[in-house]
Chains A and B, each alone.
Chain A
């Protein structure tokens, strides 16, 4: 069978993003950024803090327009918010006035599903993220990690084809985190969604992804893209000990460390001056 060329699920071509700073000058957050993610691919993005990772996701989600360049979803330019996207925000974004059940059912209800069906599916997702029994709790009555799991269920229930995740597990303890990562991989394997997963943690990036994209210190551009040829299915807790994992880690860490140092030195200079 001949290979039918398909459009990448996500493509950023020569993307720039400038912000107006409080002082009125312009700040360039992204500079000539080129990334493409194939359908069904799991792409992790790492980079020093403040380099522009969240900004990249906001552009893909259509929450912010690019200042220059193109952002394409399945070959079509992004015009506003797209129903095929699921986005798990870096900061808490579940609704404080809705309980767990209402929060998880929000997406389907917004999209016009009947109430009974939405509630039933929400109940199903709540048990998948391990929150059975907490259906009627309000977010302020949950721990930080539980709120993250509510956000995960809220995002995945809409069955997104493109899943954007901004440091989703950084608030979790190591064990819960490994469980959630395995769960995410299992869910992803059953959906064929394309994932862009932003993280600070290079180990997490390598353990989960097909490709790891290292961004430079801000303004962000691609420093290097690394293919992770570790076999699937993976067990996140075990794969860290595979020799190939260690090898990849050393290779990518070399690139990332330089950028983190640049960013760190720059911040230090700024605070001193």
Chain B
């Protein structure tokens, strides 16, 4: 205490310079702690309330499940496997369908989005068809794919592709339309040919739009895969859900949902990491504020 008070004045001005930053960072840390603890508390209240309600009979566990039973169901699947084979196999099949569908959908969406965004003629010709295609409930196509492509993974991939394509397409299209005309003019003056213009100016510029669409579109790929399996499959989490439904096993449905949520969150984290890598140049308000 005394040592600080008696410290030379030079030091104390240094300290004063650091002070606001230091206060800001403790305030930020305290805020984060409060938010995190309230989050955990909320989770405990909801899950605990659900469990309690089920135990004392306010919530019918037969229809609405029960948290402990859901955990138990997952544990049973892990240790003893499901009726359709080991759990990891179901996850692998669904993941395979979702990832393949996602990748194909993204590539097609970007290619068409950039092409139509660049070409006035193409956009004018195709835009009414795309609007119509976008307005029909595409999930219904799952039935068509189940009939035409059978019970294998093809029909699920197709459904995932259809769902992903439109989201990515519209974002890529918009992103290309928003490219600063000055930047295009500058690149052309500097000697860019049309391929260089696409790869070095238009796509990087549209990338923030495209990547923003990837967040939602992976969930949609997963929806496509699961609904596809639900409509008819030999393996996968969607089949697990439909089997559970047919045996009135609400806990089974919830357990599959929990697994899907975990997959979705993991994918989200991967996409966010990718975003931070690819759009490093963008002014990032969160990291720029830190010291």
A and B held together in a complex:
yes
Interface positions of A (Cβ within 8 A of B): 61, 63, 81, 83, 85-87, 89, 91-99, 106-107, 110-111, 138-140, 154, 158
- B187 adjacent to A86 (CB under 8 Å): no
Chain B count of residues within 8 A CB distance of the other chain? 23
Main SS at interface, chain A: loop
- B183 adjacent to A93 (CB under 8 Å): yes
Give chain B residues whose Cβ lies under 8 Å from the Cβ of A140: 281-283
Q: How distant is the Cα of A91 from the Cα of B200 in the complex, in angstroms? A: 20
Q: Does B190 contact A (CB under 8 A)?
A: yes
Main SS at interface, chain B: helix
- List the B residue with the shortest CB-CB distance to A86: B189
- B282 adjacent to A111 (CB under 8 Å): no
- List the A residue with the shortest CB-CB distance to B205: A97
- B281 adjacent to A81 (CB under 8 Å): no
Q: How distant is the Cα of A81 from the Cα of B187 in the complex, in angstroms? A: 11
Give chain B residues whose Cβ lies under 8 Å from the Cβ of A106: 187, 190, 192, 200
Given contacts A86-B189, A140-B283, 17 further A-B contacts (CB under 8 A): A63-B188, A83-B191, A89-B186, A94-B186, A95-B186, A96-B281, A96-B282, A97-B207, A97-B281, A99-B281, A106-B192, A107-B191, A110-B191, A111-B191, A140-B281, A158-B190, A158-B191
- B193 adjacent to A110 (CB under 8 Å): yes
> Could you tell me the distance in whole angstroms from the C-beta of B70 to the nearest C-beta in chain A?
45
- A87 adjacent to B189 (CB under 8 Å): yes
Give chain B residues whose Cβ lies under 8 Å from the Cβ of A93: 180, 182-183, 185-186
CB-defined interface of B161-186 with A at 8 Å, one 1/0 digit per residue? 00000000000000000001011011
Cβ-neighbour of B201 out of A89, A91, A95 (below 8 A) = A95
Task: Pick from B183, B189, B279, B280 the residue with the most CB of A within 10 Å.
Answer: B189
> Could you tell me the distance in whole angstroms from the C-beta of B280 to the nearest C-beta in chain A?
8
- List the B residue with the shortest CB-CB distance to A140: B283
> Could you tell me the distance in whole angstroms from the C-beta of B240 to the nearest C-beta in chain A?
43
Give chain B residues whose Cβ lies under 8 Å from the Cβ of A110: 187, 190-193, 196, 200
Q: How distant is the Cα of A83 from the Cα of B201 in the complex, in angstroms? A: 19
> Could you tell me the distance in whole angstroms from the C-beta of B62 to the nearest C-beta in chain A?
56
- B182 adjacent to A98 (CB under 8 Å): no
